[in-house]
Each structure stands twice: as C-alpha cells, then as structure tokens.
Amino acid sequence: MRAVVITGVSRGLGAALFDVCSARGDRILAIGRHFTPEQQQLRDERPGDVTLFSTDVADAHWLPDHDTLRAFLRDSDEAVLLHNAAVVEPIGAVGRLSTEAITQAIAVNLTAPVVLTNSFLRAAPGGARLRVLFISSGAAHRIIDGWSLYCTTKAAGETFFEAVASQVAGDERVTVASVDPGQMDTGMQDNIRRAAASGTYFPGQQRWIDAHAEGRLADPMTVAERIIKEHAP
C-alpha cells in the first residue's frame, strides 16, 4: 500500500497531484487551509483512504507531527511526501516589503518543507520505500527582479533537499529530488498578473503577461501526471 502526503491541494498543481494520486488508489494525507468540495466528498466516501488535515502551513507548530504521520503511514510499504504549497508573494522592491509578507513567504516556502520532511523521515515505517519531492521553480536558479523572496526560498529549499539527498545517498530505499514544473496555468500565475497590473516593482512582468495571452502556460494535470510518472511511479 502506498501512502502520499501532499501540501497545498486546493488548486493548481496541488489539486492535480491529489487527483492523480487518488486515481491510483493511494492513501492520501492532504495538508492545507482549504479543500475543494470534490476532495471533501472523496474524504466522506473513502474515509480510510483520504484524510484532509486543515492547517495553515505557515505555522510550523501546527503541521502534522511525528505521531500523526506515523499513524497515517502505518502499514505502508511505500511513502511519498510532495511539497507543493508555496507563495510567490511578496512581489516588489526590497525596502518596500512588509515584515509580515517576508516571514510568510519564508514560513510557507522553506520552513514548512524542512519541518515536515524531518517529521516524515522520523515517522516513516522501517523498510518502506520513501520518496520526497520538493516542487521548486526556475526562479531557484535565476534572479527574477522583484521576486526576491520567491527566488531565495526556492534556492534555499533546493539546497536543503540536496543535503537530505546526500544524507540518504547510501540508502536505496530513499529518493529525494527537487522538481521544476515550469510555467502552469494556476492561481499563482493569476497573482503574478495582478501584481504586474498593480504597478508594483516587477521589471520583467511582460514575459508572464505574454505567456498567458499566448496560451503558453501548461495544464496542471498534464504536469502532475508527468511528475508522478517520472519521480513517483
């Protein structure tokens, strides 16, 4: 039996990952503030297979702890952790960002994946096949002017998961990887276009506006299917 933990499932890539794993028959622990009506219905229909853990991932103290994860992962011979939750905000010039927005971005994009990975590896059943995937971004490897926090947290996240991968390099049961999904037609892209329209500091905004207008944003379901096929088949 395969158990999958996914963060940020209410829309976009997270919702698509949830659907792909659900269609496979995986046992799912979905973590986030909001869930779709379809996800809630599936939880009601398959309470033994689908758990919706309502929390704000920005508060690490309220993420699923070791005991919660150990109970969820029980009897699984394969366990997958998909770090999908992320925020692109704040977009703007450093010197004009709010402290709240800065700390929120670090908490969601970096602290939550670090804390949850630590708990997951501690709770995983001995002998189970383990896969940890961090949904990263091209912004981890190139500076996008106006996205200082997003670039920083994604780059830091990749560094952390490289360290974890090095730690488990001698264990064939464990796979750790960062995945760049590319540009997708998601709510995050909506937020980017709103920021561009607001007049905030974002010099390269036209690239994202054009990608949407020209239909160059990938379908999240197609991306989710590819990620699962390539990294967690």
In contact, 5 and 80? CB cutoff 8 Å: yes
203 part of a folded domain: no
Give mean pLDDT, residues 57-71: 96
Task: Say whether pLDDT at 55 is over 80.
Answer: yes
β pairing state of 174-179 and 27-32: unpaired
**Alpha carbon distance, N-terminus to C-terminus of the chain:** 13
What pTM value is reported for the model?
Answer: 0.95
Q: What is the pLDDT of residues 179-230, one digit of tens each?
A: 999 998 887 877 888 776 777 887 877 886 777 788 888 999 999 999 999 9
Decide: residue 26, CB within 10 A, 0-12 exposed, 13-18 middle, 19+ buried.
Answer: buried
Beta carbons within 10 angstroms of residue 33's beta carbon: 12
d(C-alpha 128, C-alpha 221), whole Å? 28
Give mean pLDDT, residues 94-118: 98
Cis-peptide into 64, omega within 30 deg = no
pLDDT value, residue 53: 98
pLDDT value, residue 199: 76
What CATH number did the domain enclosing 76 receive? 3.40.50.720
For 14, the domain range is: 2-184+219-231
pLDDT value, residue 115: 98
190 part of a folded domain: no
pLDDT value, residue 197: 72
Domain count, the chain: 1
H helical segments located in the chain: 12-24, 37-45, 66-73, 99-106, 112-123, 148-167, 187-197, 205-213, 220-231
H helical segments located in 95-219: 99-106, 112-123, 148-167, 187-197, 205-213
Q: What is the pLDDT of residues 107-146, one digit of tens each?
A: 999 999 999 999 999 999 989 999 999 999 999 999 999 9
In contact, 173 and 130? CB cutoff 8 Å: yes
d(C-alpha 229, C-alpha 144), whole Å? 30
200 part of a folded domain: no
C-alpha 59: how far from chain center:
15
210 part of a folded domain: no
Decide: residue 178, CB within 10 A, 0-12 exposed, 13-18 middle, 19+ buried.
Answer: buried
Among 69-73, 84-88, 100-104, 213-217, the least confident range:
213-217
158 part of a folded domain: yes
d(C-alpha 178, C-alpha 104), whole Å? 21
pLDDT value, residue 169: 96
Q: What is the mean pLDDT of the chain?
A: 94
pLDDT value, residue 132: 98
31 part of a folded domain: yes
pLDDT value, residue 207: 81
115 part of a folded domain: yes
Beta carbons within 10 angstroms of residue 56's beta carbon: 14
211 part of a folded domain: no
How many secondary structure helices (H) and strands (E) does the chain include? 9, 6
Beta carbons within 10 angstroms of residue 213's beta carbon: 11
